[in-house]
Amino acid sequence: MIIVTKPGIQEAELDHIRERVESLGLRTHVSRGEQRTIVGCIGDEERLQELPLLSMAGVEQVLPVLKPYKLAAREFSAGPTLVRVGGAEIGGSELAVIAGPCSVEGREMLRETAFAVQDAGARLLRGGAFKPRTSPYSFRGLGEQALELLAEVRRESGLPVVTEVMDTRQVDIVAQYADMLQIGARNMQNFALLSEVGRLHRPVLLKRGMSATVLDLLLAAEYIMAQGNMNVVLCERGIRTFETATRNTFDLAAIPVLKRETHLPVIADPSHAGGRRELVAPLAYAAVAAGADGLMVEVHPNPEQALSDGDQSLSLAEFESMMRVVGELAGVVGRRLPATAAVAA
Amino acid sequence: MIIVTKPGIQEAELDHIRERVESLGLRTHVSRGEQRTIVGCIGDEERLQELPLLSMAGVEQVLPVLKPYKLAAREFSAGPTLVRVGGAEIGGSELAVIAGPCSVEGREMLRETAFAVQDAGARLLRGGAFKPRTSPYSFRGLGEQALELLAEVRRESGLPVVTEVMDTRQVDIVAQYADMLQIGARNMQNFALLSEVGRLHRPVLLKRGMSATVLDLLLAAEYIMAQGNMNVVLCERGIRTFETATRNTFDLAAIPVLKRETHLPVIADPSHAGGRRELVAPLAYAAVAAGADGLMVEVHPNPEQALSDGDQSLSLAEFESMMRVVGELAGVVGRRLPATAAVAA
Amino acid sequence: MIIVTKPGIQEAELDHIRERVESLGLRTHVSRGEQRTIVGCIGDEERLQELPLLSMAGVEQVLPVLKPYKLAAREFSAGPTLVRVGGAEIGGSELAVIAGPCSVEGREMLRETAFAVQDAGARLLRGGAFKPRTSPYSFRGLGEQALELLAEVRRESGLPVVTEVMDTRQVDIVAQYADMLQIGARNMQNFALLSEVGRLHRPVLLKRGMSATVLDLLLAAEYIMAQGNMNVVLCERGIRTFETATRNTFDLAAIPVLKRETHLPVIADPSHAGGRRELVAPLAYAAVAAGADGLMVEVHPNPEQALSDGDQSLSLAEFESMMRVVGELAGVVGRRLPATAAVAA
Amino acid sequence: MIIVTKPGIQEAELDHIRERVESLGLRTHVSRGEQRTIVGCIGDEERLQELPLLSMAGVEQVLPVLKPYKLAAREFSAGPTLVRVGGAEIGGSELAVIAGPCSVEGREMLRETAFAVQDAGARLLRGGAFKPRTSPYSFRGLGEQALELLAEVRRESGLPVVTEVMDTRQVDIVAQYADMLQIGARNMQNFALLSEVGRLHRPVLLKRGMSATVLDLLLAAEYIMAQGNMNVVLCERGIRTFETATRNTFDLAAIPVLKRETHLPVIADPSHAGGRRELVAPLAYAAVAAGADGLMVEVHPNPEQALSDGDQSLSLAEFESMMRVVGELAGVVGRRLPATAAVAA
């Protein structure tokens, strides 16, 4: 932490600042420039976090030097983390594509979708059981019945299952059925929920909040990891900006930025980022070209009949067609789709 | 709902759109303009929400006509709602000021703060027991012990108590102690939590999320009200924008906008909006001048020693001095502070 | 400037960084912490601006210590700057209210507006001659004819005239007529135009750009001042955010922030900030309560017939009624409206 | 245009609204729903733009049906527009890569860069002569001397030249030297400048403003086209959001959105979007994969010595290496780099 003082700070004010910092066990180092005096604080920066430095007389700016996350930081791990979910692996040379309906609406639509996306190269099945909806009057999912259907289709297809958990009280029941627990964008800073999924050792798919910076996302991952669960996959899904031509603004650059900052895998959700069916493929292509470790895509056998997110769901044929291009682009940047898919394609 | 079609839409496409809409029990009304054909949908617009209209062939735009919230809408209520919390009232001619420490740190600091803010004109006491923190390594509050201290100080001072609830599992315990439950900005779209506080009939202070539009805030209130709890107070506390000179961007205009859109009371939190002590007073003055029904302010006997939010907490003397001006401004716009405070001032 | 290096930086890299900095005439000061080594750069920080420090091997972060503006900084001036425009003064104890139509549409409407706003307490007359319009097909003002009408009404009323200049080639002609030149939000970073109005010594009203930070606004003022023109008044008029309930998001906190950062006067434009007539008054009240030095308000004798910005223009009666409250609020925060207005009210 | 009225609107108010609309030569069509009455306006919607509909009694919402741009709209042109710049073509099957230094700093660096980027597959040379800089104390370019150097290197290399024009007074001189005039992000709504470059028939590269929506960008293009100049190329270069990990937020989705909305070519500037050298390649890959018609990239023989934007400039070797991958990705999505480059690669 570096403390920049105001011009004309008095010695007593400077002494007071140093005393407060040193009382927390850090050392200070004063450097007098032509216009500003600077106090460097050496030691455990975290202890300074609670100190209201800006409220002390004579302080102009406080500049943190260290990153506030540790377990999620690149340096923490010798290499990139591979997260294993059932038989699938996220973060390796094989692109991990998670696909399926926004909501599980019934057995048949789920089975049909699962086998089709698997044939096209997806390695994991998504499907909403508990749905967060902006309006209290919207369809909110089939709940536990959907979890049972997901487990059933997993048995048949072998596809590991990813589904969202929205409430600390649901964590246990969801974990009984799902291979990977998803934390949605609106719950990215639901700290109670983050801690709760951290206590399990089930892989977690953590979606970036609509107003979360890359730093906030890494701190949310840190919450989970601080409980001992290192199996966290980050997901860029668009942020909220002034642009209204798309549902959210897909922050493509977050993918390479995150790949540099953390050892955790990073995937992209082109369905929510664009919010319109015709944008899903170009956004997916971009994410793969920029180095994403995988994709999460909403697919429905009949998007026009979908009970939620029909506007942004791909049909089975559209998904299959997109995956052909995804596979080719992956090849250019040193990745590949699963072998079976390559054959299918 | 109005559906704008693409130029050159075919009759079969138009028919299909009308059939889908009519199959949900609405009537349609086609109007052919010079460049676009428009389909007006008459009836229960809500049923159309799930229909993926944009994904149908020939559809260019979908324009909602009705507001997606009902119970929270101005028209729902004959007049402004008064929310009673203990002996205090929010939404009436008396300005409701909620003040107290960010976190309850101990009995003495809480008592000292409570009596001082009461003397200065506050009618409710705030104090954090469970604290949402961006970093898992920050102080997260004293928990139930803090709730007990709040209840104790309420007995002594008569000030009703407002405190945050962050987890569906904590709702019952917090409701045992608190007069008003606060939903923090990060949980504004934690729909499970909203439903849970909706089931109680305890007043709720709902803070606007960092990336929530005014519409999102009203829909979050609707979630609570849809469970039967009409005692909701909305709180503007700043949104996230590109500006970094302040912690958040205080959306002052949201106050008059909300006062027109809803019958619910609207207060402002100048402490979180600015994030710096010297901004609290000007933001509070602005909120009162613009018609806010109250304020929520962080106050600490010794901000430099605060365990959280010290940078934005007012000292007791600063709060008292701010409240004198607040009282005078309130008078200009037809409001007043509690009588006892007027005497004290 | 403080340079934070990456963990494990090599001595040769550190030496190279220091050499580059010292080659520009600054001194360096190395401080080795537990996890990071820090290089403090002492001397003329401005020279470092062009140095691509982030692109040097071993550099992790670069933290500027000094502010990049000088003439606009609070410290540059012994006290607040008073900008004199004709007989009016902006930045003193009298609130400076600039009012008039969005566009000058004709002699009669301009005269009627001028006398009415003067009676209500305005000290300067605004009126657009050259109008920036988002669409090329919108009304773009009467041009020089409007300038003549403004000068004519100034002669009759004594009100100094403020009007926008949009093109470096118009600066001379506009300066022949206007007492104060306005730089609109869309031109806040039109650096050629800033330099051009800087060469004149005519007062400048500089409106904040829609995506400009407080820092950007101060740097734009610095451009003008660097040419020798110190008569700059800053104007908050809303920024662009995700919120669509208002035309822009009025950044109320920018007013007190700017008052601390600079000696220049700061006014607010509640008309553009809200974009709707019914928001003008509450935003104006808030700005005055928060310490603004003045207001800029669109007023039209018949808003429904206005050729531009009719939705956000006040009628003469609405303006008069707003100004009564403005005068009372000003009194609470130690300001006042002109004496004649007080009588009129 | 569709006008949604308030519940309980009176017949006289409705009549007044219809009269005003019809007085402008449009027809109205009233549709009474269960909760709202709707007035459809049929005819030239543009004429309604100036009408302050929202300020009329009884009006709740105004919903535009038609797009406010025409010449730029997809429907205006039978197919995609090809913009020819010297021997190069933007918008065809060959990817148009524009590369060169941020600022022209001298003859040698410019020649070296030009031949290197040409060998790697670039078809146009960029180089700043007049530079917009946020601070008045930064290097602002060599001016006309730079234009001469650009023309000289064009003669030697055959590469057409793109350079920025910032001032209406510079348009003629820049047009004497440059093959394509660039309008920078900060001038995207400098309407005087847009009109001026519209009067020439020289191709224009129009960069998206930092706070411009896709719609604003298309309206800015419309300004140029309304003067008769149809040779406009749009450039996505990042928008301003709350995220600070990158200089701007690259709005990747704007590329496919624009490709659907307009017949004009769309390119991307990965250098400004990311602001950091290591992000240029991933952003460029993403843009190509998502369907961009070209790229604009800052390249410098020695980025560490660059007088501006050194942090985000690629070295010659980095550019060459990036272009190999760009070429392969282009192949996957049906594009290619120039043949000579393919050989070189």
Could you write out the three-class secondary structure of chain A?
A: CEEEECCCCCHHHHHHHHHHHHCCCCEEEEEECCCCEEEEEECCHHHHHHCCHHHCCCEEEEECCCCCCCCCEHHHCCCCCCEEECCEEECCCECEEEEECCECCCHHHHHHHHHHHHHHCCCEEECECCCCCCCCCCCCCCCHHHHHHHHHHHHHHCCCEEEECCCHHHHHHHHHHCCEEEECHHHCCCHHHHHHHHHCCCCEEEECCCCCCHHHHHHHHHHHHCCCCCCEEEEECCECCCCCCCCCECECCHHHHHHHHECCCEEECHHHHHCCHHHHHHHHHHHHHCCCCEEEEEECCCHHHCCCCHHHCECHHHHHHHHHHHHHHHHHCCCECCHHHHHHC
Q: Which residue, C38, C95, C92, is CA-closest to C62?
A: C38
Secondary structure element (H or E) that encloses residue D151, with its range: helix D144-157
pLDDT band at A341 (very low <50, low <70, confident <90, very high): very low
Dist CA B334 CA A83 (whole Å): 61
The predicted structure's pLDDT at residue B340:
61
The predicted structure's pLDDT at residue B140:
77
Set of chain B residues whose Cβ sits within 8 Å of the Cβ of A276: 54
- Selecting from B251, B255, B273 the residue whose C-beta is nearest the C-beta of C249 gives B251
D256 touches chain A (CB under 8 A): yes
Q: Which two tokens stand for residue C136?
A: 């090329």
Question: Do residues D95 and D102 make contact, with C-beta atoms less than 8 angstroms apart?
Answer: no
Do B188 and B319 fall within a single domain?
Answer: yes
The predicted structure's pLDDT at residue C34:
75
Q: How many CB atoms lie within 10 A of CB A177?
A: 18
Residues whose CB is less than 8 angstroms from the CB of residue D12 and which lie 6 or more positions away in sequence, other chains included: none
Ordered alpha helix ranges (H), chain C: 11-22, 107-120, 144-157, 171-177, 191-199, 214-225, 254-261, 270-274, 277-289, 316-332, 339-344
- Name subunits touching A (3+ CB pairs < 8 A): B, C, D
Do B58 and B194 fall within a single domain?
Answer: no
Dist CA A39 CA A31 (whole Å): 6
Q: Which residue of D has its CA nearest to B2?
A: D2
Dist CA D42 CA D65 (whole Å): 10
Residues C177-198 pLDDT 10s:
999 999 999 999 999 999 999 9
Q: Is residue B77 part of a domain?
A: no
Q: Which residue of D has its CA nearest to A290?
A: D282
The predicted structure's pLDDT at residue B286:
98
Q: Is residue D69 part of a domain?
A: no
Q: What is the residue type of A330?
A: A
Question: Do residues A111 and A279 make contact, with C-beta atoms less than 8 angstroms apart?
Answer: no
pLDDT band at A345 (very low <50, low <70, confident <90, very high): very low
The CA-atom distances, in angstroms, between B156 and each of A88, B111, B147, B253, C148 are 60, 9, 15, 38, 71
Number of domains in chain A: 2
C34 touches chain D (CB under 8 A): no
pLDDT band at A306 (very low <50, low <70, confident <90, very high): confident
CA-based nearest distance B246→chain C, Å: 8
Dist CA A91 CA A264 (whole Å): 8
Is the Cβ pair D55, C222 closer than 8 Å? no
Q: Is residue D70 part of a domain?
A: no
Do D58 and D191 fall within a single domain?
Answer: no
Dist CA D23 CA D35 (whole Å): 27
Do B229 and B310 fall within a single domain?
Answer: yes
Q: B180 forms bridges with which residues in the sheet?
A: B162
Do C7 and C143 fall within a single domain?
Answer: no
Interface contacts (A, C; CB < 8 Å): 48
Is the Cβ pair A289, D289 closer than 8 Å? yes
Percent of chain D with pLDDT over 90: 70
D63 touches chain B (CB under 8 A): yes
Residues C10-61 pLDDT 10s:
999 999 999 988 988 888 888 887 778 888 888 877 777 778 888 888 888 8
Angle among Cα D263, D266, D267 to the nearest 5 degrees reads 165
Average pLDDT over residues C291-312: 91
Residues D268-307 pLDDT 10s:
999 999 899 999 999 999 999 999 999 999 999 999 888 8
Set of chain C residues whose Cβ sits within 8 Å of the Cβ of B291: 282
CATH code, B34: 3.30.70.1140
B27 touches chain D (CB under 8 A): no
Dist CA B211 CA D95 (whole Å): 38
Percent of chain A with pLDDT over 70: 98
Is the Cβ pair A138, B50 closer than 8 Å? yes
Q: Which residue of B has its CA nearest to D62?
A: B65
A50 touches chain B (CB under 8 A): yes
- Name subunits touching B (3+ CB pairs < 8 A): A, C, D
Q: Which residue of D has its CA nearest to B248?
A: D242
pLDDT band at D340 (very low <50, low <70, confident <90, very high): low
- Number of continuous H segments (helices) and E segments (strands) in chain D: 11, 14
Residues B76-103 pLDDT 10s:
888 999 999 999 999 999 999 999 999 9
B246 touches chain C (CB under 8 A): yes
Q: Which residue of D has its CA nearest to A274?
A: D253
Set of chain A residues whose Cβ sits within 8 Å of the Cβ of C28: none
Q: Is residue B103 part of a domain?
A: yes
Mutate to test the interface with A, among B137, B224, B227 (most CBs of A within 10 A): B137
CA-based nearest distance B7→chain D, Å: 9
Do C161 and C273 fall within a single domain?
Answer: yes
Residues A176-211 pLDDT 10s:
999 999 999 999 999 999 999 999 989 999 999 999
Do C167 and C125 fall within a single domain?
Answer: yes
Residues A260-289 pLDDT 10s:
999 999 999 999 998 999 999 999 999 999
The domain containing residue C108 runs over which residues?
Answer: 83-344
Q: Is the per-residue pLDDT at D344 higher than 60?
A: no
- Selecting from C215, C243, C279 the residue whose C-beta is nearest the C-beta of B239 gives C243
Q: Is residue B72 part of a domain?
A: no
Do D164 and D270 fall within a single domain?
Answer: yes
CATH code, C312: 3.20.20.70
Do A300 and A168 fall within a single domain?
Answer: yes
Is the Cβ pair D285, A285 closer than 8 Å? no
Q: Is residue C69 part of a domain?
A: no
> Which residues does chain B have with pLDDT short of 50?
341-345
End-to-end alpha carbon distance in chain A: 54
Q: Is residue C296 part of a domain?
A: yes
Q: Is residue B306 part of a domain?
A: yes
Set of chain D residues whose Cβ sits within 8 Å of the Cβ of C56: 304
The conformation of residue B73, written as its DSSP 8-state character, comes to B
Average pLDDT over residues A98-123: 97
D65 touches chain C (CB under 8 A): no
Residues D187-226 pLDDT 10s:
999 999 999 999 998 999 999 999 999 999 999 999 999 9
The predicted structure's pLDDT at residue B136:
77
Do C56 and C94 fall within a single domain?
Answer: no
The predicted structure's pLDDT at residue B345:
38
Whole-model pTM: value is 0.93
CA-based nearest distance B215→chain D, Å: 15
Do B196 and B250 fall within a single domain?
Answer: yes
Residues C57-86 pLDDT 10s:
888 888 887 788 889 998 888 899 999 999
Do A151 and A7 fall within a single domain?
Answer: no
pLDDT band at D37 (very low <50, low <70, confident <90, very high): confident
Distance of CA C238 to the CA centre of its chain: 11
Q: Is the per-residue pLDDT at C221 higher than 50?
A: yes
Q: How many CB atoms lie within 10 A of CB D50?
A: 18
The CA-atom distances, in angstroms, between D103 and each of A133, C68, D145, D204, D314 are 50, 22, 12, 19, 13
ipTM of the complex: 0.93
- Name subunits touching D (3+ CB pairs < 8 A): A, B, C
